[in-house]
């Protein structure tokens, strides 16, 4: 069966503008940093809604959009998440992570304490839907779930940055407790916990450098 097609909504920029736009956007994105020191200043729910609208424009396998974002500002729930996450991280830093892993984290300065889980005004938890549930309760197959959810996460982080807010891509490990605390169904697995808000005044970040282009791009031109 042929799908119903509609015209692409697309405005072609003049060619001279394309390079300029690409450069400008790179410069914007190159100022994005992962932040671990948040201000408690509130962010309206309507802002989070638009950030998730933007994230949910991500392409996905068979357009199944296999993600659920759960956004938490309730201090009671944030507290429960912090307690559960710190319990796991206590094990991680106290012997569960091998030395090689601990050494890899040294430049980030992370430890088992996660105060940002209560300080940031929003905790956005991204769940992957391993399969969907149809209107009749039957299972719906999802495709390329990890890739689709990864792209949606990237768009979410881009939207946060573009809005003038900051985020942390936090991966408490293991994070099974999030499905329980947030009462999500059996087809969903938490994959990222993203505190979102304003940076604390005077917030600092590690002095990390990004790989030079030569290390990440191979051009094969004629
Ligand atoms: N989950 C731990 C450890 C950790 C792991 C990676 I990979 C990081 O990039 C950062 C931290 C924690 O959150 O501290």
* Residues 100-137: tens digit of each pLDDT: 999 999 999 899 999 999 999 999 999 999 999 999 99
108 lines ligand 1 (CB under 6 A): yes
Question: For the chain, how many helices (H) and strands (E)?
Answer: 8, 6
Secondary structure (DSSP) of 78-143: HHHHHHHHHHHHHHIIIIIS-HHHHHHHGGGT--S--THHHHSSEEEEEEEESEEE-TTS-EEE-B
Question: What pLDDT does 1 receive?
Answer: 80
110 lines ligand 1 (CB under 6 A): yes
Q: If you search the block for the tokens 């590690």, which residue do you land on?
A: 206
Please give the Cα distance from 49 to 43 (Å, whole number). 11
Q: If you search the block for the tokens 């429960």, which residue do you land on?
A: 80
Please give the Cα distance from 191 to 170 (Å, whole number). 9
Find the 2 Cα to ligand 1 centroid distance in Å. 47
85 lines ligand 1 (CB under 6 A): no
Nearest C-alpha neighbor of 28 from the set 159, 123, 221: 159
Three-state DSSP class for residue 3: coil
Atom of ligand 1 lying closest to residue 110 CA: 14
Where are the domains positioned within the chain? 35-197
pLDDT tier, 2 (very low <50, low <70, confident <90, very high otherwise): confident
Question: What pLDDT does 176 receive?
Answer: 95
Could you tell me if 187 and 90 are in contact, meaning their C-beta atoms sit under 8 angstroms apart?
A: no
What integer best gives the mean pLDDT of the chain?
Answer: 97
Atom of ligand 1 lying closest to residue 171 CA: 1
Across the range 58-67, mean pLDDT stands at 98
Find the 70 Cα to ligand 1 centroid distance in Å. 21
170 lines ligand 1 (CB under 6 A): yes
Hey, what CATH topology would domain 35-197 get? NADH Oxidase (3.40.109)
Find the 4 Cα to ligand 1 centroid distance in Å. 45
pLDDT digits (tens, 9 = 90+) for 149-165: 999 999 999 999 999 99
Please work out, in degrees rounded to the nearest 5, the angle formed at the alpha carbon of residue 131 by the alpha carbons of 130 and 137.
145
Question: What pLDDT does 158 receive?
Answer: 98
């Amino acid at each position: 069966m042929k799908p119903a097609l509609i015209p692409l909504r697309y405005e072609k920029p003049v060619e001279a503008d394309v390079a300029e736009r690409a450069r400008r956007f790179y410069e914007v994105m190159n100022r994005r940093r992962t932040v671990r020191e948040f201000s408690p200043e509130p962010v309206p729910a309507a802002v989070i809604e638009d950030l998730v609208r933007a994230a949910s424009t991500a392409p996905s396998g068979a357009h199944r959009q296999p993600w659920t974002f759960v956004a938490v500002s309730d201090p009671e729930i944030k507290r429960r998440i912090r307690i559960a996450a710190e319990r796991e991280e206590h094990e991680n830093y106290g012997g569960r992570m091998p030395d090689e892993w601990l050494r890899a984290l040294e430049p980030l300065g992370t430890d088992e304490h996660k105060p940002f889980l209560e300080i940031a005004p929003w905790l956005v938890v991204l769940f992957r839907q391993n399969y969907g549930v149809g209107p009749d309760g039957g299972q719906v197959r999802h495709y390329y779930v990890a890739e689709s959810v990864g792209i949606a996460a990237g768009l979410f982080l881009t939207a946060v940055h573009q809005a003038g807010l900051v985020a942390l891509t936090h991966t408490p490990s293991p994070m099974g407790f999030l499905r329980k605390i947030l009462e999500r169904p059996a087809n969903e697995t938490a994959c990222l916990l993203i505190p979102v808000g304003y940076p604390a005044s005077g917030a600092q970040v590690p002095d990390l450098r990004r790989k030079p282009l030569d290390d990440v791009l191979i051009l094969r031109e004629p």
